[in-house]
Amino acid sequence: MDNEQVKHWENYSTVDEFILLGYHEYPVLLFVAFLATYLAILLGNGLIVVVTTLDSALHTPMYFFLRNLSGLEMCYTSVTLPKMMASLVSGDHSISLPACATQMFFMLFFGGTECFLLAVMAYDRYLAICLPLRYTTIMSHRVRVVMVVTSFAISFPVQLLQIRLIFSLPFCASNEIDHFFCDIPQVLRLACADLYANELAVYTENIFFVVVPFLLIVASYVHIARAILRMPSATGRKKTFSTCSSHLTVVSLFYGSAMLVYLCPQTSNLVKFSKLLSLLYTIVIPFCNPLIYTLRNREVKAAFGKLLGKKWSMEVDTGMR
């Protein structure tokens, strides 16, 4: 940074809070919409967690990973939506630097974990379809737990370091973030320092957490596609593909939006569009996940039916007594 830039930044006081511009044009309407969506996300994903836990028929690797994904989605959404709703009710759109850092950390932590968890789920489908005789041996309960724990363990220290690098920067001039949560590109834009090291760290992290898992998913599905095409029966091909369709839908939505936001050059037009895209992977996908995995899955729908049937039966018995 040259001397003229230094003098320019010295004319501004240091920022100690940010203003999240977000969406606040119609506060009452948005609050009702976000509240309904948040409750639907908690209910839908919570039911998947409960059903896959209680129904012994769903104690398989695929549903073990789905259960963890649903739990992760509830946590992921809880990082942004409660703050958005509180701002809409109070009219206070400010967020302190420590709160902003905390929010960004958990967004990155849960987001990075989901990237690897989706890759693990693709690998699970690869084993089930391409190596069916060895599937149960390879994908033991211990291996499943290690995979999920590793997904969380990899993300935690990396995101902690990233937050340390970002919030060690001085922030001055404008404190307005044109977003509904503290996201890396928008926060870095407000820093008054040389950002080369930070941009390199962000780029490296994006490659590690977005590109690498995505390539692993693509490799898994290339092998899956080959195995499906070699099947002699059209019915068998359709049935096998149906076990992957839900996961493919979620991967397409999640990685498509994430790559546009974090890997594409941040032009002025894309910056405005990224706020809309962020709604997709922070709210829309967690909302749609239960629908995607239940509407296309007979086993989960049957488990829901059994759970509701038991509950109805218990209520009837209690009423008769």
Structure tokens at 108: 């990155």
Domain CATH number, residue 293? 1.20.1070.10
Number of domains in the chain: 1
Residue with more model confidence, 95 or 178: 95
Question: pTM (2 decimals)?
Answer: 0.87
Is residue 3 assigned to a domain?
no
The number of CA neighbours under 13 Å toward the Cβ of 101 is 16
Is residue 321 assigned to a domain?
no
Is residue 225 assigned to a domain?
yes
Average pLDDT over residues 277-304: 81
CA-to-CA separations, 303 to 74, 111, 189, 242, 250, in angstroms, rounded: 21, 29, 48, 18, 22
Question: Rounded to the nearest 5°, which phi and psi values hold at 268?
Answer: -60, -40
Is residue 179 assigned to a domain?
yes
Is residue 256 assigned to a domain?
yes
With a cut of 70, say whether residue 34 has pLDDT above it.
Answer: yes
248 and 256 Cβ atoms separated by less than 8 Å: no
Is residue 237 assigned to a domain?
yes
CA-to-CA separations, 301 to 19, 33, 39, 147, in angstroms, rounded: 44, 27, 20, 27
With a cut of 50, say whether residue 190 has pLDDT above it.
Answer: yes
Q: How far apart are CA 262 and CA 138, in angstroms?
A: 34
Q: How far apart are CA 87 and CA 154, in angstroms?
A: 33
User: Domain range holding 120?
Assistant: 17-308
Is residue 53 assigned to a domain?
yes
| Residue that the structure tokens 């391409």 belong to | 130
Looking at every residue in the chain, the average pLDDT score rounds to 85
What tens digit of pLDDT does each residue of 223-251 get? 999 999 888 888 778 888 877 888 888 89
Distance from first CA to last CA of the chain, Å, rounded?
A: 79
pLDDT band at 186 (very low <50, low <70, confident <90, very high): confident
Is residue 148 assigned to a domain?
yes
3-class SS of residue 296: coil
